[in-house]
Every structure is written in structure tokens, then in C-alpha cells.
Structure 1
Amino acid sequence: MTENESAPVAVVGIGADGWDGLSPAARQAVAGAEVVLGSRRQLELLGSVGDGHLGQGAEHVEWPSPLVPALPALFERFAGRLVCALASGDPMFFGLGSTLCRVLGPDRIEVHPHPSSVSLACARLRWPVQEVTVVSTVGRPLDRMRAWAAPGRRILVLTSTADGPGQVAGVLTELGYHDSELTVLEQLGGPAERIRSGHAGDWHETPGDPLAVVAVRCVADPGTVGLTLVPGLPDDTFEHDGQLTKREIRAVTLARLAPLPGQLLWDVGAGSGSIAIEWLRAEQSCTAVAVERDPVRAARIGRNAAALGVPALRVVTGAAPAALADLEPPSTVFIGGGVTVDGVLADCWSALRTGGRLVANGVTVQAEGLLADWYERHGGTLTRLQVQRAAPVGGFTGWRSAMPVTQWVAEKP
């Protein structure tokens, strides 16, 4: 193996200030490269070979599109040569560095970060970085910001389209945050830096630079109630046809599911998708698959997920257990519908990863008997949950009982 073959790929973050904004180590990585990869804009920011910013004879290569599928072959092509890959801002913040870690492995790259657009935006606004919520819509649905809109919250939305600020304003207006303050920051740190401000409800600014940061200070309209990230949203938050795990039972169920970072949930017999949606809202690094046999309900789950800020929820239309066959093994399983269908409980238990957790709810005598049998064989906890709500009784108030729910919770050894 030659020295160059063992050399890591230099991943250099670059901002709108171009060469002048690079650290000495980053400049050295660029100047010493035999191949410099980057977008056309990034390569232009560095100037030409004659400027002395790029090594004499360095090959300039624009990133292919689509990027990720082409990366293995691209780096194989340049094996044995000193490669510098340009990235926007901090490569490890929603950036190229994270992608190359997955594709090449963390030991194959060396990162030279530039201040991120988030750090620069917070510096301009005098916002403490640790007190803001960052939502990237670069290659991701804008609906993701819906989960974070709440009175008083400060959000930085990373956009990638010229009308990104207008779209952000539209979502805020739809959610009942007309008076929210918007500040659009473009070309941060560069000679063409521009900052514009206004309010969501009357945002009429012309489209600007596609790569911008939209800073939002959420101000709720009178009567707008913010949606908490704590499980147990009101039932009418969801579009449903009655197939819904009710609020109190849902809160208890999510507590027993206990979402942890990076875990995958199967929501089997998902109905309106409320369990999977609240699972994703509770921990943003989690993933979930909602399995629903009824195509009308499956489509409704997708709408609920988008409306509540978790459009990444995967919806599988099909009947369990057959629909489970090709899914990635889960960390956690919730069975809310079809627990008595032959094979559902057994196949979910079999697919569950070692140490994983299964939570199953049942409301019928048959379901209760089945869950009691599994409790006897596999242990865990068996609980009966009963909810009563106050309701008019003539001129008085009395208690109306919902159907009791039997819940079995077990961890797979």
C-alpha cells in the first residue's frame, strides 16, 4: 500500500467566505490535494489553480447526481490519490461528513469544519445555540417543522429552495402562528450576506437564495394551543374513524414502549397511526413502521404523520402477519389491532430483537385470554387499564366507563 492509498479523504467545510474563511489546516488539505471534489459553487469559491488555492495539476470534479449511490465508485476511481471533498459549513452537521462516514467508514476521512450556518445565524441573532431547535429541510420534507411549532420556541429551518421562507411562513400560518417573527439569513459570512425580517402571516418577500436559514420565533394566535411532545395528545388531534388508541391508554402505552434513541418500532394494526406517530415525536432519532391492512386507514396514517411533523413514518399496507415478512427486525413492537389473528403475536415475538420489548393491548375476552396465556409462558407484566370520563346524567354529572384494556408487556430474553 502506498502512502497515498492509506491517506484519509480530507473533508473540508467551506462557507460563503470561500478561501479566506478556511483554517490553515483546511487550506493545506485543499492545496495539497490531487483531486478536489465539490459542487460547482464550492469549487468556484476556491478560485482557480492559478490563484494558488488549488494545487498545480489538481483535478476538479463536480459531485454527481444523485450523489450517494455514486460515491463508492467515485472514490474507487480516485484510489491512491490525495482527495479533498468540499462540504458546506460543518460537514458533520446534516452534511457530507456524516454521509462519507457511512459510505467509507469513519477511519477513512479527516474532517476540517467551518462554522455551520446555524452557528453563524445564532451569532447574528444573538440566540444561544443550545436554546434553538434546528430543522433541516434540505432533501427532507418541510412537514418536519410541524412537530416543533410551539409558543415561544425558537427554530432555525435550513432550506434549499428559493421559496423556502414563504413555505415556512405558510406552515406557521396554517398552524395558527400568524404573528411569528421570521428572519431570513442568506449567504452568511460572505460578501453577499443578506438578512430580511417579517411576520409569517404577512410574508410577501420575493424568493431569494435557495440555501438560507429561516429563523422563527413562534408566536401563537389567540386560542392556538401548542401540541406537546409528551405522549397523550388529544384524540381529536388525529384524523380517525374510531380506530384509535384513546388518549389515556395511549399515554400509558407509550410509557411502556419507552422509546430510546435509534430504536425501530413496529406498530401492528396501526389504525390511525397514533402510537407510531407519538413514538416518533417523543424521540426524533427513532424510526417506525405502521402496518395497516385497510388502505383507507393506511392513507389516513400518512396524512396524520405529515400533519404532526413525522413524515418519515413508513406505512405498510397489508395484513399481518404476512405483511411483516420483509421488514427490518424491530427493537420494539406494539400490537394494537389483530392481536388474536393467527400468527400475529407469534411472528412479532419471533422477529423481535434480543432484549427488545413487546406491548400488546386487547379489549375482547378472547384477546385477554390469549395475552394471559403468553404472560404465563413468557412472563412480563399483565395489566388491566380502566378509564372513566365524566358525562351528563340528566341534570347531574356521572362517570361513563370506556371498555377496559388488557395490556401485556414483555422483554425478549
Structure 2
Amino acid sequence: MIVVVGIGADGMSGLAQASRAELVRATVIYGSRRQLDLLDDSVTAARREWPTPMLPALRSLLDGTAGDVHVVASGDPLLHGVGNSLIRLYGAAQVVVLPHVSSVTLACSRVGWAVQDTEIISLVTNEPHTAVRRGGQAIVMSRDASSPVALARMLTDTGRGDSEITVLEQLGGPAERRRSATAREWSARPPGDVDALNVIAVRYLPDERRFSVMPDEAFANDGQITKQPVRAFTLAALAPRAGELLWDVGAGSGSIAIEWCRSGPGCRAIAFERDEARRKRITENSVAFGAHVEVRAGAPDAFDDAPPPAAIFIGGGVTQPGLLDACFDRLASGGRLVANAVTVESEAVIAQWYARHGGELRRFDHQRGEPLGGFTGWRPAMPVTQWSVTRP
């Protein structure tokens, strides 16, 4: 059995009786150096610091061990913590977790926020731009002392310099400290003494949240963008689910990849684009929306070593010889593929694929009202033919 005990910055004094009893009876305890140093002399177990990388040590944790193995972890081990990794490896029946008060709950109590109204974002393994939001509030779990200034600069660079940030260090311990500023202020004059153990409470300003498909002008683009109405029915066909990966092939401005990432928790994308200027623009758009988008060169050459997708969208290059074959071959059973076409030639290609593989073939026409002299007339957009299929 593996027993995971959460501990706070206040050390043994803050532990519940059951947690303290587990540590006292333990024969071997694993943890980071900082966590192991919080244990007092009542704990006589052998203390083993996690190596780097950590995952191989987790996999061999029970090797050659007859009794229980104990692990000490920060706060709630099930909140972006080692408890989740151990349960994935060994199953819930083999892992007991005794949580402490989480840093998220402590942070919310300090700033007066309801936990259920607050997003939780981890920068422990993610890049700072993934904590950029267009409104709302979040507790951001930092990687180290550099995280607050990195996030403050990202917010400032993406037009969110008025966002209110509160950096909370050593929460729950005797050295607890709280400092507040706008992102712009923190970015301009970052303190040089931020503790590595910190979380950031962020109220994102201005609040421009939208939960529908974004307008075209929200994305930097050179005209190569899937327009808003087409984006809406394309996302409906792609049917994103939480945690899934999309390949956006011929990504243009990256609007489909970004909308995919916005659609559900853990959704991420890889954007394939041949044009270097457009790749740079996709990166800028991804940062502005805090989206998990990896940008690669053109398809299919850049497919090598890419993680397998749950869905693929082809927005450009349908007529490129071998492209559809390469995309279809990369899909596992149950994977979805959606291709949009606006030319006669690309329509002919997807019509052939529809005849061979089935799926659904749709054609969308839409018009918008525009001034016509002193009146209003209808301006038709180019019709879009869409083929969608699920691989058997």
C-alpha cells in the first residue's frame, strides 16, 4: 500500500492526527527535499528524496517492499500533485491519500474568493502564456520564483496590464507573505525576493469573456482565416471533448486550433502551417488566448513524431497530393476528420473520399447584409463544402 500524506508550510504542527500517526509509523518516506525537511524528530523513517526525473522512481516505488510505503507531498496531493500520478500507476485500491488544506483553498480564503467560482491553473509543467485569460479569476500555481513576473509580462503584452495580481508566498506557514499589484506594475518593478513556494491570485481585466465562437477581428490575420460562421459549424462537426488533441492542418491564423482549445478543459492542438509569417501569427494568437497550441511547419512533412490526434481539421491543402491519405492514416479508430473546401478542385477531392469512406457531406451558403446605396443588400460569401467522417 502507498500512503500519501499532504503537509503544509506549517509542517508537522498543522497536520491532522491521522496524518501525523501515519508519518510516525512509517518505515520509509519519499518526498522532495523541502517536504522532507518539514518533518520533525518524531518521524524516524528513512527519508528518500525524489530523483530527477521522478517518474521512474514512482514506477518502482513498491519494488522489493513488503510493507507500506509513505509519500509526503505539498497540500492536497490530488490537486495537480503526486497523488494523481500514483493512482494512475497503481490504481485507487493501492493508494491512500490523506490531504492537507490545498494552496488553492488557502489562497481563496486570503483574497475572499469562492473556490467554486475560481479557475485553477498550473504552471508547474505548462508555459506562462497558458495562464492568460480574457476575464474572470484564477489561482495560478507557480513553477518557481520566476512565475509571477513571467505571467505579469504576458498579461501586459497581451493587453491585460490592468489585471490585479496577488502573489501569496509560503501560504499557511510562519513566513507567509502577500503582495498585490497590477500586472503592469509587477512587470515594470518585479520584486527580487519572491519565494519559490508561491501561488498567484489573478483577476483578469478587462473582462472580455465570450463563450461562443469569437469574432474574426479577435484574431490577428492576413485574411487567411476561417470566418466566424464557418468556424461555428466546423467546431460542431469536430465535436471536441475534454482533454483531446486536434491537428489543425493548413492552420492560417490558427483560429480553429484556438477555438478548439477554448472549447473544453485540457483541449490542446498542433497547428501545421507552411508559411513562416503565419506560423508566427498563430503563436501570437495562441498567447493572446492562453491556448495550448504547438506550431509546426507544413503538413505532412511535420507529422513525424507528433502525438496522435483525436481529430484532424484540414482547412487548406486538400488538393495537395497525399495530404488526405497522410491525415486519414494518422487517425486511430474513432478519430474524426473534417475537411472544408471552397474550390471546385478541392470539392472534387473530398467528394471522392466521401464516396470511398462515407461520413457526411454538407454544403453551407450564407449571406450578410451590406449597404447598397441608401439601402441594404445581401452580399453572398463563398459557399463551403464540408466532409466529416469518423474512422471505423
TM-score (norm 2): 0.89
Counterpart residue number, 2:199: 213
Counterpart residue number, 1:162: 145
Cα deviation per residue 1:217-252 (whole Å; 9 max; x = unaligned)?
Answer: 2332xxxx7252432x23233333332212221122
1:66 aligns with 2:49: no
Tell me how far 1:127 sits from its aligned partner: 1.6
Counterpart residue number, 1:373: 352
Q: 1:293 to 1:174 in 2, by over 3 A?
A: closer
The unaligned stretches of length 5 or more in structure 2 are none
Distance 2:322 2:161 in 1: 50
User: Alignment partner of 2:37: what SS?
Assistant: helix
Cα deviation per residue 1:244-294 (whole Å; 9 max; x = unaligned)?
Answer: 212221122112211112322222222222211210111122232222334
Distance 2:305 2:146 in 1: 39
Counterpart residue number, 1:186: 169
Counterpart residue number, 1:331: 310
Corresponding letter in the other structure for 1:68: L
Q: 1:121 to 1:78 in 2, by over 3 A?
A: farther
Specify which of 245, 254, 263 is matched with residue 273 of structure 1.
254
Corresponding letter in the other structure for 1:291: F
Counterpart residue number, 2:131: 145
Q: 1:240 to 1:181 in 2, by over 3 A?
A: closer
Distance 1:106 1:299 in 2: 44
User: Alignment partner of 1:239: what SS?
Assistant: coil
Which 4+ runs in 1 deviate beyond 6 A?
Answer: none
Corresponding letter in the other structure for 2:279: A
Q: 1:235 to 1:345 in 2, by over 3 A?
A: same
Counterpart residue number, 1:314: 294
Counterpart residue number, 1:4: none
Specify which of 202, 209, 230 is matched with residue 185 of structure 2.
202
Distance 2:14 2:21 in 1: 13
Counterpart residue number, 1:93: 79
Distance 2:162 2:325 in 1: 52
Counterpart residue number, 2:385: 406
Tell me how far 1:129 sits from its aligned partner: 0.8
Counterpart residue number, 1:228: 210
User: Alignment partner of 1:25: what SS?
Assistant: helix
User: Alignment partner of 2:199: what SS?
Assistant: strand
Distance 1:325 1:176 in 2: 36
Alignment of 1:3-42 (within 5 A): 8-42=1-35
Distance 1:27 1:317 in 2: 54
Distance 2:310 2:145 in 1: 40
Please say which of residues 30-39 and 347-356 is displaced more in the overlay.
Answer: 347-356
Paired residues of 1:38 and 1:87 also in contact (CA < 8 A): yes
Q: Percent identity?
A: 49
Paired residues of 2:250 and 2:298 also in contact (CA < 8 A): no
Distance 1:119 1:109 in 2: 23
Specify which of 249, 252, 255 is matched with residue 233 of structure 2.
252
Cα deviation per residue 1:157-216 (whole Å; 9 max; x = unaligned)?
Answer: 122333433333333333444443332222222222222333334344624222222212
Counterpart residue number, 1:345: 324
Paired residues of 1:329 and 1:352 also in contact (CA < 8 A): yes
Cα deviation per residue 1:1-55 (whole Å; 9 max; x = unaligned)?
Answer: xxxxxxx1211111112112222222222112221112222112112xxx31x13
Distance 2:218 2:139 in 1: 25
TM-score (norm 1): 0.84
Counterpart residue number, 2:221: 240
Corresponding letter in the other structure for 2:241: L
User: Alignment partner of 1:46: what SS?
Assistant: coil
1:44 aligns with 2:37: yes
Distance 1:62 1:29 in 2: 18
Paired residues of 1:35 and 1:81 also in contact (CA < 8 A): no
Corresponding letter in the other structure for 1:28: A
**Structural RMSD (CA):** 2.6
Counterpart residue number, 2:120: 134
Paired residues of 1:264 and 1:332 also in contact (CA < 8 A): yes
Tell me how far 1:131 sits from its aligned partner: 0.5
Distance 1:293 1:330 in 2: 19
Counterpart residue number, 1:125: 111
Paired residues of 1:158 and 1:211 also in contact (CA < 8 A): no
User: Alignment partner of 1:406: what SS?
Assistant: strand
Distance 2:379 2:316 in 1: 24
Tell me how far 1:404 sits from its aligned partner: 1.6
Corresponding letter in the other structure for 1:158: M
